[in-house]
Amino acid sequence: MSIIDKISFSRNKEDDIFTKHIKNLTGYKPRDVSIYKRAFTHKSANQIDSNGNRLNYERLEFLGDALLDASITSFLFHNLPNSEEGELTQMRSKIVSRKHLNEIGKDLELISLAKRPTSKRKFSYNAHGDFFEALIAAIFLDRGYIIMDKFIKNKLIIPYVDLDKLLGKISSYKSLFIEWCQKNQSQYEYKTFEDSGNSTIKYFGVKLYVKNKIVAKARATSKKKAEEIASRRAFYKFQDRFQ
Protein backbone atom coordinates (compact mmCIF):
# COMPACT_ATOMS: atom_id res chain seq x y z
CA MET A 1 0.00 0.00 0.00
CA SER A 2 1.37 3.43 -0.94
CA ILE A 3 1.98 6.29 1.48
CA ILE A 4 -0.84 8.19 -0.22
CA ASP A 5 -3.23 5.32 0.48
CA LYS A 6 -2.25 5.28 4.16
CA ILE A 7 -2.70 9.02 4.52
CA SER A 8 -6.19 8.79 3.02
CA PHE A 9 -7.23 6.74 6.04
CA SER A 10 -6.41 9.42 8.59
CA ARG A 11 -6.76 8.59 12.26
CA ASN A 12 -9.96 9.66 13.99
CA LYS A 13 -11.74 8.97 17.26
CA GLU A 14 -13.15 5.69 15.93
CA ASP A 15 -9.72 4.24 15.09
CA ASP A 16 -9.10 2.88 18.58
CA ILE A 17 -12.46 1.10 18.60
CA PHE A 18 -11.84 -0.33 15.13
CA THR A 19 -8.33 -1.47 16.11
CA LYS A 20 -9.75 -3.21 19.19
CA HIS A 21 -12.29 -5.05 17.05
CA ILE A 22 -9.58 -6.25 14.67
CA LYS A 23 -7.44 -7.42 17.57
CA ASN A 24 -10.36 -9.35 19.07
CA LEU A 25 -11.13 -10.86 15.67
CA THR A 26 -7.60 -11.87 14.66
CA GLY A 27 -5.85 -12.21 18.00
CA TYR A 28 -3.24 -9.61 17.03
CA LYS A 29 -3.02 -5.84 17.22
CA PRO A 30 -2.74 -4.44 13.67
CA ARG A 31 0.63 -3.06 12.71
CA ASP A 32 -0.92 -1.09 9.86
CA VAL A 33 -4.59 -0.48 10.61
CA SER A 34 -5.10 1.27 7.25
CA ILE A 35 -4.96 -2.09 5.46
CA TYR A 36 -7.83 -3.41 7.57
CA LYS A 37 -9.81 -0.22 7.10
CA ARG A 38 -9.52 -0.70 3.35
CA ALA A 39 -10.59 -4.36 3.72
CA PHE A 40 -13.85 -3.16 5.29
CA THR A 41 -14.50 -0.22 2.97
CA HIS A 42 -17.34 -1.05 0.62
CA LYS A 43 -17.16 0.28 -2.92
CA SER A 44 -20.39 2.18 -2.33
CA ALA A 45 -18.44 4.46 0.04
CA ASN A 46 -16.81 5.95 -3.10
CA GLN A 47 -13.45 6.56 -1.42
CA ILE A 48 -10.54 7.59 -3.67
CA ASP A 49 -6.93 8.65 -3.15
CA SER A 50 -5.32 11.80 -4.52
CA ASN A 51 -4.60 10.01 -7.82
CA GLY A 52 -8.22 9.10 -8.33
CA ASN A 53 -7.74 5.41 -7.49
CA ARG A 54 -10.65 3.75 -5.72
CA LEU A 55 -10.04 2.65 -2.15
CA ASN A 56 -12.18 -0.33 -1.26
CA TYR A 57 -11.97 -4.03 -0.43
CA GLU A 58 -12.14 -5.44 -3.97
CA ARG A 59 -8.41 -5.82 -4.67
CA LEU A 60 -7.90 -7.34 -1.23
CA GLU A 61 -10.78 -9.72 -1.87
CA PHE A 62 -9.04 -10.87 -5.06
CA LEU A 63 -5.81 -11.54 -3.16
CA GLY A 64 -7.63 -13.16 -0.23
CA ASP A 65 -9.42 -15.56 -2.55
CA ALA A 66 -6.09 -16.90 -3.87
CA LEU A 67 -4.53 -17.05 -0.40
CA LEU A 68 -7.52 -18.94 0.99
CA ASP A 69 -7.29 -21.48 -1.84
CA ALA A 70 -3.58 -22.00 -1.10
CA SER A 71 -4.17 -22.45 2.64
CA ILE A 72 -7.04 -24.91 2.20
CA THR A 73 -5.14 -26.81 -0.51
CA SER A 74 -2.20 -27.27 1.84
CA PHE A 75 -4.50 -28.37 4.67
CA LEU A 76 -6.22 -30.99 2.52
CA PHE A 77 -2.95 -32.22 0.99
CA HIS A 78 -1.47 -32.95 4.42
CA ASN A 79 -4.64 -34.28 6.06
CA LEU A 80 -5.94 -36.48 3.25
CA PRO A 81 -2.84 -38.38 2.07
CA ASN A 82 -4.89 -41.08 0.35
CA SER A 83 -7.15 -38.78 -1.68
CA GLU A 84 -6.61 -38.29 -5.41
CA GLU A 85 -6.38 -34.92 -7.14
CA GLY A 86 -10.00 -34.88 -8.27
CA GLU A 87 -11.31 -35.65 -4.80
CA LEU A 88 -9.07 -33.00 -3.22
CA THR A 89 -10.33 -30.44 -5.73
CA GLN A 90 -13.94 -31.25 -4.89
CA MET A 91 -13.22 -31.02 -1.17
CA ARG A 92 -11.62 -27.61 -1.58
CA SER A 93 -14.57 -26.40 -3.64
CA LYS A 94 -16.95 -27.39 -0.85
CA ILE A 95 -14.93 -25.57 1.81
CA VAL A 96 -14.38 -22.31 -0.11
CA SER A 97 -17.79 -22.18 -1.78
CA ARG A 98 -19.42 -18.76 -1.83
CA LYS A 99 -22.29 -20.06 0.31
CA HIS A 100 -19.89 -21.37 2.95
CA LEU A 101 -17.81 -18.19 3.05
CA ASN A 102 -20.94 -16.08 3.36
CA GLU A 103 -22.02 -18.13 6.37
CA ILE A 104 -18.63 -17.66 8.03
CA GLY A 105 -18.53 -13.93 7.33
CA LYS A 106 -22.02 -13.58 8.73
CA ASP A 107 -21.18 -15.55 11.87
CA LEU A 108 -18.15 -13.30 12.43
CA GLU A 109 -20.40 -10.23 11.98
CA LEU A 110 -17.91 -8.66 9.59
CA ILE A 111 -20.47 -6.30 8.08
CA SER A 112 -20.63 -4.50 11.42
CA LEU A 113 -17.08 -3.27 10.71
CA ALA A 114 -17.82 -2.12 7.18
CA LYS A 115 -17.55 1.49 6.11
CA ARG A 116 -20.45 2.51 3.92
CA PRO A 117 -22.83 5.44 3.51
CA THR A 118 -25.86 3.20 3.11
CA SER A 119 -27.76 1.00 5.55
CA LYS A 120 -26.87 -2.64 6.17
CA ARG A 121 -29.91 -3.69 4.17
CA LYS A 122 -28.23 -2.44 1.00
CA PHE A 123 -25.41 -4.99 1.20
CA SER A 124 -25.71 -8.07 -0.98
CA TYR A 125 -25.53 -11.36 0.89
CA ASN A 126 -22.21 -12.10 -0.82
CA ALA A 127 -20.67 -9.16 1.04
CA HIS A 128 -20.27 -11.44 4.07
CA GLY A 129 -17.87 -13.68 2.15
CA ASP A 130 -16.24 -10.78 0.31
CA PHE A 131 -15.21 -9.11 3.56
CA PHE A 132 -13.92 -12.43 4.91
CA GLU A 133 -11.60 -12.84 1.91
CA ALA A 134 -10.49 -9.21 2.11
CA LEU A 135 -9.69 -9.69 5.81
CA ILE A 136 -7.53 -12.71 4.98
CA ALA A 137 -5.53 -10.59 2.54
CA ALA A 138 -5.19 -7.78 5.08
CA ILE A 139 -3.77 -10.17 7.68
CA PHE A 140 -1.33 -11.53 5.10
CA LEU A 141 -0.08 -8.07 4.13
CA ASP A 142 0.13 -6.91 7.74
CA ARG A 143 1.42 -10.03 9.49
CA GLY A 144 2.57 -12.52 6.87
CA TYR A 145 1.51 -15.94 5.65
CA ILE A 146 1.99 -17.91 8.89
CA ILE A 147 -0.30 -15.67 10.94
CA MET A 148 -2.84 -15.59 8.11
CA ASP A 149 -2.78 -19.38 7.86
CA LYS A 150 -3.33 -19.65 11.61
CA PHE A 151 -6.32 -17.30 11.35
CA ILE A 152 -7.88 -19.48 8.63
CA LYS A 153 -7.34 -22.56 10.77
CA ASN A 154 -8.91 -20.98 13.87
CA LYS A 155 -11.83 -19.24 12.17
CA LEU A 156 -12.66 -21.60 9.33
CA ILE A 157 -11.10 -25.05 9.54
CA ILE A 158 -11.52 -25.90 13.23
CA PRO A 159 -15.10 -24.64 13.68
CA TYR A 160 -16.52 -25.46 10.24
CA VAL A 161 -14.58 -28.25 8.51
CA ASP A 162 -15.43 -31.86 9.30
CA LEU A 163 -13.45 -33.97 6.86
CA ASP A 164 -15.46 -37.13 7.53
CA LYS A 165 -18.74 -35.38 6.73
CA LEU A 166 -17.31 -33.56 3.74
CA LEU A 167 -15.98 -36.78 2.29
CA GLY A 168 -19.53 -38.09 2.33
CA LYS A 169 -21.11 -34.91 0.95
CA ILE A 170 -21.92 -34.95 -2.76
CA SER A 171 -21.43 -31.55 -4.41
CA SER A 172 -22.58 -32.60 -7.90
CA TYR A 173 -24.80 -35.60 -8.57
CA LYS A 174 -24.40 -35.07 -12.31
CA SER A 175 -20.59 -35.35 -12.11
CA LEU A 176 -20.90 -38.41 -9.90
CA PHE A 177 -23.42 -40.08 -12.21
CA ILE A 178 -21.37 -39.38 -15.33
CA GLU A 179 -18.24 -40.74 -13.64
CA TRP A 180 -20.14 -43.89 -12.66
CA CYS A 181 -21.43 -44.37 -16.23
CA GLN A 182 -17.95 -43.94 -17.67
CA LYS A 183 -16.39 -46.41 -15.25
CA ASN A 184 -19.09 -48.95 -16.06
CA GLN A 185 -18.99 -48.20 -19.79
CA SER A 186 -22.69 -47.35 -19.73
CA GLN A 187 -23.91 -45.02 -22.45
CA TYR A 188 -25.84 -42.03 -21.07
CA GLU A 189 -27.61 -38.99 -22.49
CA TYR A 190 -29.37 -35.91 -21.09
CA LYS A 191 -32.20 -34.74 -23.32
CA THR A 192 -33.43 -31.28 -22.33
CA PHE A 193 -36.33 -29.29 -23.75
CA GLU A 194 -38.43 -26.24 -22.89
CA ASP A 195 -41.35 -27.25 -20.72
CA SER A 196 -43.09 -24.04 -19.69
CA GLY A 197 -46.64 -25.10 -20.49
CA ASN A 198 -49.06 -22.31 -19.53
CA SER A 199 -46.66 -20.85 -16.98
CA THR A 200 -45.18 -17.39 -17.50
CA ILE A 201 -41.93 -18.70 -15.97
CA LYS A 202 -39.58 -20.48 -18.35
CA TYR A 203 -39.03 -24.11 -17.36
CA PHE A 204 -36.88 -26.86 -18.79
CA GLY A 205 -37.57 -30.55 -18.71
CA VAL A 206 -34.92 -33.25 -18.86
CA LYS A 207 -34.93 -36.96 -19.48
CA LEU A 208 -31.88 -38.94 -18.43
CA TYR A 209 -31.18 -42.04 -20.52
CA VAL A 210 -28.83 -44.89 -19.68
CA LYS A 211 -28.36 -47.49 -22.40
CA ASN A 212 -31.25 -45.87 -24.32
CA LYS A 213 -33.66 -46.28 -21.39
CA ILE A 214 -35.14 -43.43 -19.35
CA VAL A 215 -33.93 -43.72 -15.75
CA ALA A 216 -35.02 -40.30 -14.42
CA LYS A 217 -36.95 -37.15 -15.30
CA ALA A 218 -36.89 -33.63 -13.85
CA ARG A 219 -38.16 -30.09 -14.39
CA ALA A 220 -36.60 -26.80 -13.26
CA THR A 221 -36.06 -23.17 -14.22
CA SER A 222 -32.71 -23.91 -15.89
CA LYS A 223 -31.20 -26.78 -17.84
CA LYS A 224 -28.39 -27.11 -15.30
CA LYS A 225 -30.80 -27.45 -12.37
CA ALA A 226 -33.01 -29.90 -14.22
CA GLU A 227 -30.04 -32.11 -15.12
CA GLU A 228 -28.78 -32.03 -11.52
CA ILE A 229 -32.20 -33.03 -10.15
CA ALA A 230 -32.51 -35.86 -12.67
CA SER A 231 -28.99 -37.04 -11.78
CA ARG A 232 -29.85 -37.02 -8.07
CA ARG A 233 -32.97 -39.11 -8.70
CA ALA A 234 -30.97 -41.55 -10.80
CA PHE A 235 -28.31 -41.75 -8.10
CA TYR A 236 -30.80 -42.77 -5.43
CA LYS A 237 -32.47 -45.17 -7.85
CA PHE A 238 -29.15 -46.98 -8.37
CA GLN A 239 -27.61 -46.19 -4.99
CA ASP A 240 -26.79 -49.82 -4.20
CA ARG A 241 -24.75 -50.05 -7.42
CA PHE A 242 -22.84 -46.84 -6.58
CA GLN A 243 -21.90 -48.25 -3.18
Any catalytic annotation for residue 130?
Answer: no
**AA letter at 64:** G
Name the active-site residue from 5, 58, 87, 133. 133
Which residue in 66, 58, 15 sits closest to 39, CA to CA?
58
Find the helix or strand (DSSP H, E) in which 209 lies: strand 204-210
Residue 97 and residue 81: Cα distance in Å, rounded?
22
Strand-by-strand arrangement of the 188-194 sheet: 188-194, 204-210, 213-220
Which residue in 30, 32, 31 sits closest to 3, CA to CA?
32
Residue 133 and residue 105: Cα distance in Å, rounded?
9
With 0-12 / 13-18 / 19 or more C-beta atoms within 10 angstroms meaning exposed / middle / buried, residue 146 is exposed
Name the active-site residue from 14, 32, 58, 65. 65
Any catalytic annotation for residue 133?
Answer: yes
Q: Treating both helix axes as pointing N-terminal to C-terminal, what angle do 15-26 and 127-143 enclose, rounded to 10 degrees?
A: 90
Residues carrying an active site annotation: 65, 133
